[in-house]
Structure 1
């Protein structure tokens, strides 16, 4: 099965093409500019792989949580490619993709913690086998530490993600054991492709938003008819 995976949800623009036991990977760190970078990166990766879009059997994309613009760029691109080729698409969360990336280094139970800013954390726990043991959530740092303690998962927890050091420091300050497994701010796109290879498509991919957008519709202003 040939799988093309895309990630634009976080701090990088990444593409991976999984061709059996061969892979082509492109990854460029960038806080913004994903929309302009993605299509040329896809064309470059396909050229190296020696195939066209018609040879792709399945598409995969990170659906969030992440930046609103980044998530929309990746999801829209993959939806369009899936529609144009008649091939299915699979959504993968950034949290599970980061967990899979970290498990390549060490297969342990872990907390994936991503900085959501405003003193909030995108978080999810996973077993040593990579199975989710909680749902994706957005929590304040102190609430997250308390919640982990209540669930009995804080002791010895390995933490990975852009907020890993912040969470580990807070856990230690609360008298609990925690260690930083990695401070990855974006997943390996090859892991996104591998997850998608084992997941049955379930209709159109949809963004995963854990926070309401910052932009709010303006209230209707009174019309000055003078």
Structure 2
């Protein structure tokens, strides 16, 4: 089966095609955008398919990063994945950025527990802990640096994500392996994790662990006509 993976959760707009049976990436495309994922995603997906030498009807599943990450980017990726899956009549599989980062860390450090943590700003850390087999042992949540340090002390994990070095610095008495340190994992990791998870479960939906920074200003909402 050929699987298309999409990630718009951070600055990259990335896609790859993955052969599940051969456990091999067939082709990829990525743009470092920061913003504007909605305008570029279809072209990136098209390039990934072209580089893989296949077309949409050849796909058997679609995987997508569901966050946490950019509110807009996550929505764009999830909406596209669900649209592709509906049109092609194939499953859509959601993978969180935290579990993808943990899987990438295990690729480097072997079968180890991993604390995946993203710096959410304002003293917030978005984190989860996975055991050496990838099973969730501390569900994704917004926590403080102190709480993250307690988790690091308890599990002695590899630290992954943008908050990894911050957490390591908060526990000077203990040495930690760290990496990857980005806001998201390599696109092929999403494809591989999705292939391992399979299509069981609900449709992918955005994972938002905190409220968006931008909120409507109630005082500027226009009244309905005729009210």
**TM-score normalised by the chain length of structure 2:** 0.87
Structure 1 stretches lacking a partner, 5+ long: none
CA-atom RMSD, angstroms?
Answer: 2.0
TM-score normalized by structure 1? 0.88
Structure 1 counterpart SS, 2:6: strand
Q: Residue by residue, what CA displacement relative to the aligned partner does 1:138-192 show, whole Å, maximum 9, x if unpaired? A: 112123223554xx22xx43211111111111121xx344332331322111111
1:63 aligns with 2:61: no
Structure 2 CA distance, aligned partners of 1:109 and 1:26?
31
**2: CA distance, partners of 1:183 / 1:46:** 28
State yes or no: 1:183 paired with 2:186: no
Partner of 2:94: 91
1:72 aligns with 2:75: yes
Partner of 1:7: 7
User: Contact conserved, 1:12 with 1:31, CA < 8 A, in 2?
Assistant: yes
Q: Which stretch shifts more, 101-110 or 139-148?
A: 139-148
- Superposed, 1:68-147 pairs within 5 Å as 68-107=71-110, 108-147=112-151
SS in 2 for 1:136: strand
Q: Which residue matches 2:196?
A: 198
How far off is 1:4 after superposition?
Answer: 0.4
The aligned counterpart of 1:18 is: 18
Number of the residue aligned with 1:219: 218
3-state SS of 2:118 partner: strand
